[in-house]
Structure 1
Amino acid sequence: MKNNDLGLLIIRVSFGLLMLLHGIAKLLHGVDFLGGMFQSVGLPSFFAYAVYVGEVIAPLLLIVGFRTKLAAIAFAFTMIVAVLMAHAADVFTLTQTGGWAVELQGLYFFGALALFFTGGGKLAVSSVSKWD
Structure 2
Amino acid sequence: MIKNEAAAAIIRIFLGATFFIHGLAKFQGGIENTVGFFDSLGLPGFTAYVVALIELIGGLALLLGIGTRVVSILFAVIMLVATFKVKLAGGFLGNGQGAGFELDLALLAMAIFLVVTNKSSLALDNVLFQSREA
Same fold (TM over 0.5): yes
| Equivalent residue, structure 2, for 1:104 | 103
Relative to structure 2, which stretch is displaced further, 101-110 or 44-53?
44-53
* Structure 1 residue 60 displacement after superposition: 1.0
| Equivalent residue, structure 2, for 1:45 | 45
| Equivalent residue, structure 1, for 2:81 | 81
1:51-104: per-residue Cα shift (whole Å, max 9, x none)?
22332111111111111000101111111222233213124x4458xxx93111
* Structure 1 residue 21 displacement after superposition: 1.4
Unaligned runs of 5+ in 2: none
| Equivalent residue, structure 1, for 2:125 | 126
Distance in 1 between residues matched to 2:18 and 2:55, nearest whole Å: 9
| Equivalent residue, structure 1, for 2:62 | 62
Distance in 2 between residues matched to 1:41 and 1:21, nearest whole Å: 22
* Structure 1 residue 42 displacement after superposition: 3.9
Q: TM-score, normalised by structure 2?
A: 0.79
The answer as to whether partners of 2:19 and 2:58 remain within 8 angstroms in 1 is no
Relative to structure 2, which stretch is displaced further, 27-36 or 108-117?
27-36
Distance in 1 between residues matched to 2:26 and 2:94, nearest whole Å: 27
* Structure 1 residue 17 displacement after superposition: 1.0
Give the aligned length: 125
**Percent identity for Structure 1 against Structure 2:** 34
| Equivalent residue, structure 1, for 2:35 | 35
Change (3 A) 1:15 1:42: closer
Give the 3-state SS of the residue equivalent to 2:66 in structure 1.
coil
The answer as to whether partners of 1:54 and 1:78 remain within 8 angstroms in 2 is no
